[in-house]
Every structure is written in structure tokens, then in C-alpha cells.
Amino acid sequence: MGKVKKALNESAAMRWGMLILVGFVLSTNYYFYDAFSTLKDLLKAEFAFTNTDYGLFVSFYSIPNTFLLMAVIGGIILDKVGIRITGFTFIFFMAFGAFLTAYGASEYYSNGGVGNSLMQSFLPKYSPELKMMLLGRFFFGLGAETSIVVISKILVKWFKGRDLALAFGLKVGFGRLGTFAALQLSPVLANGGETLSTAIWLAAVLTFTGLLAFLVYMLFDAKLDKQVIATESSSQKDKFKLSDVFNILSNRAYLYIALLCVTFYSAVFPFMAYAPDFFADKFGFTDVQSGRITSLLPLGTMVFTPLFGFLIDRKGKSATAMIFGSIILLAVHLVFGFTNILPYVPMVMLGIAFSLVPASMWPSMVKLVDDKQIGTAYGLMYSIQNLGLWGFPLLAGILLDKTNPGNPEVADYTAPILMFAALGLIGLIFAIMLKYEDKKKHFGIELPLNRK
């Protein structure tokens, strides 16, 4: 009898190779998202943006996933038609949106390029540059969030029962690598505004290379599906149904994780969008120095998230890790709001918090939902998360303008920082409630993820 050939996902080399490939896609996503945080003052100078305009630009990313529920719809599409079609479609939207954003910031467009006159014909309060960049940000957000859902399902497909938390930790690390690179490179490439368009175009081109990388992944995914086609065909009768959405939402543990997700990420990502300007205003750092200090957070997460994922795979305690991460997050924002301690150590601590929670939260989903629902479950999580990523950057910008009338050169950030601290406190409450629910219902969130 011939030897049975192992499926691709049974090979450790292939699993980690696929992680690197889709991790690169994620890095390009995060690079573009965070490339603008060190360019805030330059955008204000070049295009006469207010703080509210900048907050609107950051928050526009989340509109398709908050109000059109595209991450949920994307997750449902993912569960119905599979990884390859869904992934290519939404990563294409991501790249297309990035190119539109870069085009809106280009000199050619500002000098009357295609679409400029159309953008001038409505909402005169906003510049044509801002309106084109908002359109690009919309399409980028439409594709980017579902692409993260796709990558999450890819990791479950290749790693379930085999270092899944470590894989998710490394996935987070790849995202933070993109953030780190953006914070380091964007202010240098922009050169004080002289080559602002160059910095933005590089970020857009990187998203296109992410699309090319996903095309390569699709070849391996197709081969894996052929190897397990018998298993797939035998499970067709168990396909996803729309009613499963309500079953997912009826699970209190899932809701607590989702609510922790929105409060926790809303206290981090919007803060990151303002952090370089906050550090420049409070401590007198240059744009380049502020970018480097802000990059301590993604640098820390690149190290700590895989480490925490490794430990959670083997030791468990995911809910406990979420509690500790939430406590650290709250403490760091209180330090920023009420002390003049230099931000080096607090940013490293924030990086540790931002490692503990994602490393434990995302892989815990396999304890709460069936495989056929995993895309929908992640899609719902990302849509709920995007409610905060839409509202709080905009609210932070409004608070800055209200508490700093006249748009001064140096802004007082106390009000938005306290808002982020309040989100950290609310997230801590949800983490505690999650641990209690797990203890009562025995979901196994505190147990190790690796198969015995």
C-alpha cells in the first residue's frame, strides 16, 4: 500500500512559510494605515487641515465597516465562497483605496488633475484634496478590515491545534512591523513637507505589493484544498447559515470579547494616530523624534506578542492576560494625562499591553464558535471594533479643537488622553466579566490552545 501524502498544513515549514507570506500582506496594510500619523502637521500645513479634518480622515477608514457592516458582510462572504475569492477582492479594494488617497495628496491632482473640479463642486467647506483622500480612505478601509478577517481565517486553517496563539502573535507582530516601518520612514521621506507626496505614494505602492503576495498565497491555498477535498465535500451539509450570526451574538463570552476589543483598540489605534503630535507638543520633540518614540509601541509588540502567544498555547490563561493588558493600558494613559514623565518607558509598557490582549483575544475565538462560523465571527468583531475606530479619532480631533481654540501651534492633549484612559477602564471591566463568564460556562478560554 502506498504511503499517504501529508497535507500541506501538516508540514511545519509550509505553515510558517504561509504565515510569512500573509504576514507581509498585513504589514503593507498597517504601513499605509499608520503612515499618516507622523504627517499630521505637514497635512495641516499643505492642505490647511484642521484637527477635526485630520480626525475625520483617520475615522473615514472605519465608515464602511461601521455603517455598511462590510467586515461582517466580508466575513459571511468568506465563509460562503472561501479564502481566495474573498481575499483577492478585498485586498484589491485596499490597494485601490491607497492609490486614490495618494492621488488626492499629489501635486498633479491639486493643480486641476482628473476629478479635482468634481470634488470642488460640492461641500465647499472641505478642500478637494481632503475629499479625494477621504474617498480613498473609504475604499482602503473597506478592503483592509476584511483582509484582516481573511488572514485570521487563514491562520485557523493552517494552525488550529498547532501553535495557533503563537501564529496569531506573529500575525500581530507583522502588523506592528508595518506600523514601526511607517513611523520610522514616513517623516524622513516627507522631509519636512518637501516630499510629502513621495512618502504617501510609497505607502500606496506597498499595498499593491501586498496584493501580489496574496496572489502567490492563492496558489498554495488551492493546492491545500485539493488535498482535503474529501473532508470539504463531506461537510457541505454543514455550511454557514445567516441565522448563525444571531447564535454568535447570543454568546455572552463572545460579546464581552467584542466589547473589550472595541474599547481596547479605540484606546490604542486612535491614540497612535495622534501620538507623534502629542509628544511634539508636550515634550518639544521633532517630527522624526516623535515618530521614533511612537514606534517603540510596535517594536515592543513585535517582540512580546509572539512570546505571549507561545505561552498561551502551552499554559492558557487567556482571560487573565486580557485583564492584565487592560490594567497596563489604563495606567499608561493616566501617566500620559497627569504626569510629565518622558514617554519612552510608558510606550514600551503600552506595547506590552498591546501584546497581551491581542495574543490572547483573537485565538480564543476558536473556543467560542465553530469553524464554519469563524469568518463571520471575526467579521462581526472587526465591525464592532470599527465603530470605535470611526468615532474616537474624530472625537479626539473635536476635543482638541474645542479645548484649544484658535488652532494654536502647541496643543493641550489632556482631554483626549483622559478619553483614552476611560476607554481603558471600560475595557478592564469587560475583561473581568469575560473571565467570570468563562468560569461559569466552561468555554475553556483559560485552558491551553495546543492539542494534547
Across the range 5-19, mean pLDDT stands at 85
Q: Tell me what pLDDT residue 6 has.
A: 73
Dig out the grid coordinates for 352 from the structure: 506590552
For 77, list phi and psi in degrees, rounded to 5: -60, -40
Dihedral of alpha carbons 5, 363, 385, 99, sign = negative
Helices (H), ranges, 61-195: 63-66, 70-81, 83-104, 107-110, 116-120, 128-159, 164-190
Residue 35 and residue 295 in contact, taking contact as beta carbons nearer than 8 Å: no
Dig out the grid coordinates for 217 from the structure: 498565497
Residue 165 and residue 313 in contact, taking contact as beta carbons nearer than 8 Å: yes
Higher pLDDT, 184 or 450: 184
Q: Tell me what pLDDT residue 234 has.
A: 41
Length of the chain: 452
Across the range 118-147, mean pLDDT stands at 92
pLDDT digits (tens, 9 = 90+) for 325-346: 999 999 999 999 999 999 999 9
Helix (H) or strand (E) holding 398: helix 374-403
Summary mean pLDDT of the chain: 87
pLDDT digits (tens, 9 = 90+) for 242-289: 667 788 888 899 999 999 999 999 999 889 888 888 998 899 888 788
Q: Tell me what pLDDT residue 300 has.
A: 81
- DSSP state for residue 4 in the 8-state scheme: P
Residue whose C-alpha cell reads 491545500 in the numeric block:
224
Q: Tell me what pLDDT residue 2 has.
A: 45
Q: Tell me what pLDDT residue 451 has.
A: 55
Dig out the grid coordinates for 297 from the structure: 509601541
Across the range 71-77, mean pLDDT stands at 85
Confidence of residue 357 (pLDDT cuts 50, 70, 90): very high
Q: Tell me what pLDDT residue 241 has.
A: 65
Given a cut of 70, whether residue 1 has pLDDT beyond it is no
Alpha-carbon distance of 176 to 181, in angstroms, equals 8
Dig out the grid coordinates for 376 from the structure: 463571520
Distances 339 to 329, 334, 417 between C-alpha atoms, Å: 15, 8, 12
What's the predicted TM-score (pTM) here? 0.79
pLDDT digits (tens, 9 = 90+) for 402-423: 988 876 677 889 999 999 999 9
Higher pLDDT, 147 or 79: 147
Given a cut of 80, whether residue 159 has pLDDT beyond it is yes
Alpha-carbon distance of 249 to 199, in angstroms, equals 41
Alpha-carbon distance of 330 to 312, in angstroms, equals 23
Residue 239 and residue 376 in contact, taking contact as beta carbons nearer than 8 Å: no
**R_g of the chain, CA atoms, integer Å:** 22
Higher pLDDT, 133 or 248: 133
Instruction: Indicate the range of 108-122, 157-171, 271-285 predicted with least confidence.
Output: 157-171
Task: Give residue limits of the domains in the chain.
Answer: 13-227+239-441
Given a cut of 50, whether residue 112 has pLDDT beyond it is yes
pLDDT digits (tens, 9 = 90+) for 287-324: 788 888 888 888 888 888 888 888 888 888 999 999 99
Print burial letters for 94-128: b (CB count within 10 Å at least 16), e (below 16): bbbbbbbbbbbbbeebbeeeebbeebeeeeeeebb
Across the range 170-189, mean pLDDT stands at 89
Which CATH code fits 13-227+239-441? 1.20.1250.20
- Return the SS3 of 285: coil
Alpha-carbon distance of 75 to 452, in angstroms, equals 30
